[in-house]
A = this chain, B = another copy of it.
Amino acid sequence: MTASTERLYLFDTTLRDGAQTTGVDFTLEDKVKIAGILDDLGIDYVEGGYPGANATDTALFGEDRRLKATFTAFGMTKRAGRSAANDPGVAALLDAKAKAICFVAKAWDYHVHVALGCTLEENLEGIRDSVAAAKARGFEVLVDCEHFFDGYKANPDYALSCARNAYEAGARWVVLCDTNGGTLPEEIEAIVRTVSSTVPGDHLGIHAHNDTEQAVAVSLAAVRAGARQIQGTLNGLGERCGNANLTSLIPTLLLKSAYADRFAIGVTKEKLGQLTKASRKLDELLNRSPNRHAPYVGASAFATKAGIHASAVLKEPETYEHVPPETVGNRRHVLVSEQAGKSNIIYELERVGLTIAKDDPRVARILDEVKDRESLGYAYEGADASFFLLAKRVMGEVPAFFEVERFKVNVERRYNAVGDLVTFSEATVKVKVGSEVMISAAEGNGPVNALDAALRKDLGQYQRYIEDLELVDFRVRILNGGTGAVTRVLIESKDATGDTWTTVGVSANIIDASFQALTDSITYKLVKEGVGV
């Protein structure tokens, strides 16, 4: 931050407003992991949820989550007819282990009457008292003025008095929300400019939704008009069409001189290089397919299809790309080019710790193998351990530790002795280790679990190296759909050192795909342990 730049604050609501996304259902573990990703990126505020509204959010705020970011609890202002101290909703908020509280308050007179059923003055009193109560308990306070822009169009004086009351009661931020998402950037710019003569811009935030596909433009228009906090979500998650997409906003703020020269944000240029990975991680946690066409971080964001541009792009990429892909941790894809592929592969190999000379003939063989496998449905972006093994195998550096001669998995559903319908899963594995042949059997709570248990039951001379191996996640994606469906399984493993690694398997058969990922995980662990044959 230089003398000539102003600080602009990013407020992430992936875990609160993003939880409203159709099909998204965060567990407590998801929330903790995602808060960590956001914190690591350098987001200023992480809004975790609504303590008191559901068990997950109450548990989330029941412990100190120790973030660098300002961890924020969301909730409603007190109801009319009781004091903040006697409002159970506010009480739950005040007990939250958080640094800030974000109150949502109605700013549209119509909604005060219809949805709250109280007077306009009672609503203002609710704002003032709630802010004061939270400030008295030492919280930083934000007030989300719900429906602010629609409210402002209907009754500008009342919308403004909500903002003013929040500010005067001591709110650090008064956030102007376009709750229904239909306000246009030029309207937002004009209204925020007017509001900033009542509440100073460095206390104003913008909360936009993407219902006209302009949430990013709306957020930037508000900043041009004086607002200094942007609320949004990773990957633009959010109710309906989503919230303002921080994954698009962050690179624009850091890389486009119109903003980069005027503003400083909490995300550094180094952390920007992690953005693509952060975006993919969130999708992986939610088991959503990443949007190929996402600005900056999508797999196609820097892809040029064979055509009038392709060869020129290779010669002078900077005149065909609005920003360099590596600044956001993404890659150029020029689909006709072997050359681009080779340097990509070398880059990827170095990332997983394998150094190889550019003119080594094995680079081309690794590239061919990756291409072949990717055309079958393998994806190595999220499966570093399998990529590492693929390269090491081409280089002839992975011993055949063990060979599974056959396996058999059985799932049976039937009535048990006491008449309950139960399902049993059982697996048998015949594995050859050196000259030793072992048959192991195990039960599990599902076919993959049984197969895993049987496979790791006895690996002879290698058994001691895998005792601390543990499966921590198992993800399945069906590719193509319908009759030509292929299953891709990703398995995340860890060991006692705390290292985690991910392996991939692909097959029309989910058990087969799981088996591949499981054996890759064991093999990786043995290579990691430096085991020879």
Residues of A within 8 A of B (CB): 20-23, 25, 27, 29, 53-54, 76, 108, 110-111, 114-115, 147, 150, 180-187, 210-214, 216-217, 220, 224, 236, 239-242, 245, 248, 252, 256, 258, 287, 292-296, 298-308, 312, 315-316, 319-323, 335, 338-339, 379, 381-382, 404-415, 423, 425, 445-448, 471-482, 485, 487, 507-512, 515
Please measure, in the bound complex, the distance between the C-alpha atom of A240 and the C-alpha atom of B304, giving whole angstroms: 7
Query: Given A114-B316, A446-B508, A476-B476, do A301 and B241 touch, yes or no (CB 8 Å)?
Result: yes
Query: Given A23-B381, A301-B211, A510-B447, do A410 and B408 touch, yes or no (CB 8 Å)?
Result: yes
A415 → B minimal CB distance (Å):
7
A413: chain B residues within 8 A (beta carbon) = 404, 406-408, 511-512, 515
| 8 further contact pairs, Cβ within 8 A, besides A111-B319, A446-B487 | A22-B382, A54-B338, A240-B293, A405-B415, A413-B515, A445-B509, A474-B478, A510-B510
Q: List 22 A-B contacts (CB under 8 A).
A: A22-B292, A22-B300, A22-B303, A23-B379, A108-B319, A110-B319, A114-B319, A147-B319, A183-B322, A184-B220, A211-B295, A211-B301, A212-B216, A239-B306, A240-B298, A287-B477, A407-B412, A407-B413, A408-B411, A411-B511, A413-B512, A445-B509
A309 → B minimal CB distance (Å):
8
Closest to A150 in B: B319
One complex includes copies of this chain to the number of 2
Please measure, in the bound complex, the distance between the C-alpha atom of A315 and the C-alpha atom of B114, giving whole angstroms: 10
Query: Are A295 and B210 in contact (CB-based, < 8 A)?
Result: yes
Query: Are A212 and B512 in contact (CB-based, < 8 A)?
Result: no
Query: Are A481 and B473 in contact (CB-based, < 8 A)?
Result: yes
A471: chain B residues within 8 A (beta carbon) = 482
A75 → B minimal CB distance (Å):
10
Query: Are A20 and B287 in contact (CB-based, < 8 A)?
Result: no
A445: chain B residues within 8 A (beta carbon) = 508-509
Query: Are A248 and B312 in contact (CB-based, < 8 A)?
Result: no
Please measure, in the bound complex, the distance between the C-alpha atom of A116 and the C-alpha atom of B324, giving whole angstroms: 23
Query: Are B20 and A307 in contact (CB-based, < 8 A)?
Result: yes
Closest to A444 in B: B509
Please measure, in the bound complex, the distance between the C-alpha atom of A54 and the C-alpha atom of B340, giving whole angstroms: 12
Query: Are B182 and A185 in contact (CB-based, < 8 A)?
Result: no
Please measure, in the bound complex, the distance between the C-alpha atom of A242 and the C-alpha atom of B248, giving whole angstroms: 14
Query: Are A448 and B510 in contact (CB-based, < 8 A)?
Result: yes
A484 → B minimal CB distance (Å):
10
Of all A-B residue pairs in the complex, the 5 with the closest CB atoms, nearest first, are A182-B322, A217-B217, A406-B414, A446-B509, A213-B248
A76: chain B residues within 8 A (beta carbon) = 308
Interface centre among A299, A316, A471, A478 (most CB of B within 10 A): A478
Please measure, in the bound complex, the distance between the C-alpha atom of A405 and the C-alpha atom of B416, giving whole angstroms: 11
Query: Are B381 and A22 in contact (CB-based, < 8 A)?
Result: yes
Query: Are A239 and B295 in contact (CB-based, < 8 A)?
Result: no
Closest to A474 in B: B478
Query: Are B295 and A212 in contact (CB-based, < 8 A)?
Result: yes
A134 → B minimal CB distance (Å):
19
A508: chain B residues within 8 A (beta carbon) = 445-446
Query: Are A322 and B211 in contact (CB-based, < 8 A)?
Result: yes
A111: chain B residues within 8 A (beta carbon) = 312, 319
Query: Are A186 and B412 in contact (CB-based, < 8 A)?
Result: no
A248: chain B residues within 8 A (beta carbon) = 212-213
A186 → B minimal CB distance (Å):
7
A20: chain B residues within 8 A (beta carbon) = 305-307
Q: Contacting A241 at CB < 8 Å: which of B240, B294, B307?
A: B294
Closest to A374 in B: B25
Q: Contacting A406 at CB < 8 Å: which of B242, B323, B339, B415?
A: B415
Query: Are B301 and A240 in contact (CB-based, < 8 A)?
Result: yes
A177 → B minimal CB distance (Å):
13
Query: Are B213 and A446 in contact (CB-based, < 8 A)?
Result: no
A211: chain B residues within 8 A (beta carbon) = 295-296, 301, 322
Query: Are B256 and A22 in contact (CB-based, < 8 A)?
Result: no
A104 → B minimal CB distance (Å):
8
Closest to A492 in B: B481
Please measure, in the bound complex, the distance between the C-alpha atom of A224 and the C-alpha atom of B481, giving whole angstroms: 43
Query: Given A22-B303, A423-B512, A473-B482, do A252 and B412 touch, yes or no (CB 8 Å)?
Result: no
Query: Are A256 and B212 in contact (CB-based, < 8 A)?
Result: yes
Query: Are A305 and B22 in contact (CB-based, < 8 A)?
Result: yes
A423: chain B residues within 8 A (beta carbon) = 507, 509, 511-512
Query: Are A320 and B477 in contact (CB-based, < 8 A)?
Result: no
